[in-house]
Amino acid sequence: MALSIGIIGAGEMGIAIAHLAALSKCTVALYDINDEVIRRALEGIRFALKNSVNDTTFTKDDLQLALERIKKRTQLADLDTCDIIIEAAMEDIRVKKDLFKKLDTITHYTTRLVSTTSSLSITAIASATKKPERVAGMRFFRPILSRPLIEIVRGANTSDETVEAIRAASDKLGRETIVSRDTPGFVVNRIQSQFFGEALHLLEDDAAPAATIDRIVQLQGGFNAGPFRQIDEMGVDTHFEESYALFERMFTDSRYRPHDIERQMSDAGQRGKKSKQGFYSY
């Protein structure tokens, strides 16, 4: 039987996860409160999949089957038969707690409830439910279709069974996993914050242009892409918001202070690849 995945939020991340899950032969229930948002999301996925048809490993029949695996949903209650529900809503603790409280009442006790939050406490989100043992974090990394890692975040009450269920789902999606504790920024964000932060400091000090810093990191560090290309891929505004949230959760430790370059770029609408202008032009 195919793994059934519910996805809450038809934004950039929800769309990418739905795309990946459909390609991995999972059945997908894509939920958003706005029917028009879901319609546009499905059109975006259809367009992306069509571009893969020329790939010798992906045929028109594969395209049709992948699209048929994704069903749009505008009622949370329609997710009640999913094996795992992935929340990819806005990064607001009140919104997430409200969602998980509702999911706790409408889903079977064996359904695993996971959040893609990059900065909020999984333990705090799970506290809105009566069964916090089935709640965990499941962090994807942009670009989701090509990044091989998923970070499973274990809340204070997350059970071993929930961790193993999410690990099995990640295997189905063709991803490697690490398991981290529910600490501020988890593991990946803590490492990345220093990597990106130092690159931004170098840019501020006029040590070298963004493209040169990226090139050095690629040549010397063996990275596929440098820090500024990666920030553009994530979204300059998204990275700034995540950095600010981590800074607050680390009790304003100066090591994690967000950088004003990103704030100014966000204010100017230079949000990276999604706005066609960031540290690079697209």
CB atoms within 10 A of CB 110: 11
- Give 78's pLDDT tier (boundaries 50, 70, 90): very high
Look at residue 58 and tell me whether its pLDDT is greater than 80: no
Q: Check residue 56 and give its pLDDT.
A: 64
CA 164 to chain centre: 20
pLDDT in tens, 120-134: 999 999 999 999 999
- Given CATH 3.40.50.720, say whether it is the number of domain 4-181: yes
pLDDT in tens, 228-248: 999 999 999 999 999 999 999
Q: Check residue 61 and give its pLDDT.
A: 87
Q: Check residue 63 and give its pLDDT.
A: 85
Task: With CA atoms as reference, report the closest residue to 48 among 76, 25, 17, 74.
Answer: 17
Look at residue 54 and tell me whether its pLDDT is greater than 80: no
**Per-chain mean pLDDT for the chain:** 94
**Is residue 131 within 8 Å of residue 161, measured between CB atoms?**
no
Query: Taking residues 160-164, what's their average pLDDT?
Result: 98
> For the chain, give me the number of helices (H) and strands (E)?
11, 8
Tell me the fold of 188-275. N-(1-d-carboxylethyl)-l-norvaline Dehydrogenase; domain 2 (1.10.1040)
| 212 burial level (CB within 10 Å; 0-12, 13-18, 19+) | middle
pLDDT in tens, 200-238: 999 999 999 999 999 999 999 999 899 999 999 999 999
Task: With CA atoms as reference, report the closest residue to 86 among 188, 156, 17, 16.
Answer: 17
Fold match between 4-181 and 188-275?
no
Query: Taking residues 268-281, what's their average pLDDT?
Result: 97
Tokens of 279: 């540290």
Query: Taking residues 62-79, what's their average pLDDT?
Result: 92
pTM: 0.90
Q: Which residue has the higher pLDDT, 122 or 55?
A: 122
CB atoms within 10 A of CB 263: 16
Residues 127 and 268: their CA atoms lie apart, in Å, by: 38
- Give 53's pLDDT tier (boundaries 50, 70, 90): confident
Domain parsing of the chain, residue ranges: 4-181, 188-275
CB atoms within 10 A of CB 142: 18
Look at residue 150 and tell me whether its pLDDT is greater than 90: yes
Residue 41 backbone phi and psi in degrees, to 5: -65, -45
Q: Beta 149-154 vs 135-139: how paired, if at all?
A: antiparallel
